Amino acid sequence: MINYSQFSVLITDLSTRKSFDLANILTQKGINILLCDDLKGADQIMLESAYRKKCELLRKDTNFSDDLSKILQNHSDIKIVYFPIEEDTTLLVYNFLKQHQYSNFYHNLPLQKSFDTVRNKGIFSKFCLHKNLAVPKEYDFQTLLNMDDLPEELILKPKNGSGSVGIRFLDTKEDLLACQRLVIDDYIIQQRLKNPKDVEGAFFLFDKGKYISYYGHKRIRTFPPEGGVSIYSKCECKPELEKLGVKLLEKLEWSGLAMVEFLYDPDTDSYKIIEVNPRLWGSLMLSEFCGSNMIENYCLTALQKPLQDSCIQEDRYIRWFFPWELLAYVKSRASIPNFWHFDTEHTCYINVSYTTYWHSFLFTLYNIVNPAKLKRLYQKVFAR
């Protein structure tokens, strides 16, 4: 059995809920964490209080390599495992690895070629078509402009981006014409499947092209309801999605964590691949709550240590109560059944479970008073 005191997990992007939940899960499992970010003033005070730990300086600019080198040198007596939380930070780590070698720095990242392939939705769509993997049909913007009407309902998505920000539904030719002011080369246009709110997430851990584990979740509620961020989901494992995800990630020669999103296409009676997120997913808490041990096993694959067994429990749920479920409840005019029923035995709560109510409150308060967070909230609520 590995001695958890001999390594620490480096956690970046401390303002994100993923980092907060990850830190709390690891701490509860007895795994040391090393907080790294560029914090100042009130942000530093509030986040260090919420995390119950001091933060070391790691700037996401030209100082990144020097800052990371200093961190690794200051902790040369322990092994440090990098966790891919945000894509922009991981890109900086890739550049760091090209220039530096530290014997105490560990990770289980995919080859950068594979990482770059899935980050760009246009390149990824072409990769899947080349490998005979089913994806939504892609359309050329100029060709669509020359048509009298749209051939079907379409969706326009930024080639590089996450979540629902920047996505547009194209129902009419007027919707398409309104996109002419965009830098259209930065977007991809695809057919819009008939059930966009029913995206199914499949979560995988690989190690140098070898499949390790999988679990999935089924969205119950999203915000907005027609398709957006998942706010209430249930653990649900489907052999068909496991098979398709493994086939895709093997062709990518994947390593580490990946979330593959699928949509069922009733016209072809089959699932189609929507995208791959090469980072930690927003519902990561469910991976621990359902018994997958995927978070711990990522660390163990990075360290090349024996893995923990998984025992998936499918009667497990995850809710993102504040602010998204509460907003959905208000918009529904209080018509969501059993909304105020909190089943903590079978349900985990983002930013609440695995920590104390006080520290959950501090992190929530930070999100309420932080201007950047409020802007992000506004974009998600009103962008459409």
Helices (H), 63-150: 64-74, 87-99, 112-119, 121-130, 141-145
In a domain? residue 370: no
Count CA atoms closer than 13 A to 52's CA, side-chain side: 14
Residues 181, 309: one domain? no
Residues 236 and 329 in one domain: yes
Note whether residue 373 is domain-resident: no
- pLDDT above 70 covers a percentage of the chain that reads 94
Same domain, 259 and 325: yes
Is 360 within the bounds of a domain? no
Quick one: 262 and 334 in the same domain?
yes
How confident is the model at residue 1, as a pLDDT? 60
pLDDT score of 383: 52
What is the average per-residue pLDDT within 171-183?
Answer: 93
Instruction: Estimate to the nearest angstrom the gap between the alpha carbon of 58 and the chain centroid.
Output: 21
Asked if residue 289 and residue 266 are part of one domain, the reply reads: yes
Q: Write the CATH number for 42.
A: 3.40.50
CA atoms within 13 A on the CB side of 109: 24
Q: Does 338 fall in a domain?
A: yes
pLDDT digits (tens, 9 = 90+) for 323-333: 899 999 998 99
User: What is the predicted pLDDT for the residue at 375?
Assistant: 65
CATH of the domain at 315: 3.30.470.20
Report the predicted TM-score, pTM, of the whole model to 2 decimal places. 0.92
Mean of the pLDDT values across residues 51-57?
98
- Domain of residue 179, residue span: 137-191
* Res 384: pLDDT: 47
What 3-state class would DSSP assign to 245? helix
C-alpha to C-alpha distances, 90 to 63, 169, 326, nearest whole angstrom: 15, 30, 32
- State which amino acid sits at residue 172: T
Number of domains in the chain: 3
* Local structure of 95: helix, strand or coil: helix
Give Cβ neighbours of residue 73 (< 8 Å, ≥ 6 apart): none
Q: Which residue has the tokens 């049909």?
A: 137
φ/ψ region of 52 (left if φ > 0, alpha if ψ in -120 to 50, else beta) reads: left
- Tell which wins on pLDDT, 167 or 103: 103
Please compute the mean of the pLDDT values over residues 356-363 and round it to a whole number: 96
Average pLDDT, rounded, for the chain: 93
Q: Are residues 65 and 88 in the same domain?
A: yes
Are residue 200 and residue 186 in the same domain, yes or no? Answer: no
Does some domain include residue 180? Answer: yes
**Same domain? 200 vs 187:** no
Contacts of 181 by beta carbon, 8 Å cutoff, 6+ apart: none
Count of H-run helices and E-run strands, the chain: 14, 16
Give yes or no: residues 278 and 247 share one domain: yes
* pLDDT tens-digit series, residues 210-233: 999 999 999 998 887 776 788 999
185 and 209 part of one domain: no
Please check whether residue 123 lies inside any domain of the structure. Answer: no
Per the rule left: phi > 0, alpha: psi between -120 and 50, beta: everything else, 58 is beta
Do residues 204 and 345 share a domain?
yes
The tokens for 367 are 């999100």
- Average pLDDT of 289-299? 96
pLDDT in tens, 95-113: 999 999 999 999 999 999 9
CB 223 within 8 A of CB 380: yes
Identify whether 124 is part of a domain: no
State mean pLDDT over 178-197.
88
- Is residue 377 one of the residues assigned to a domain? no
Does one domain contain both 202 and 147? no
End-to-end CA distance of the chain: 51
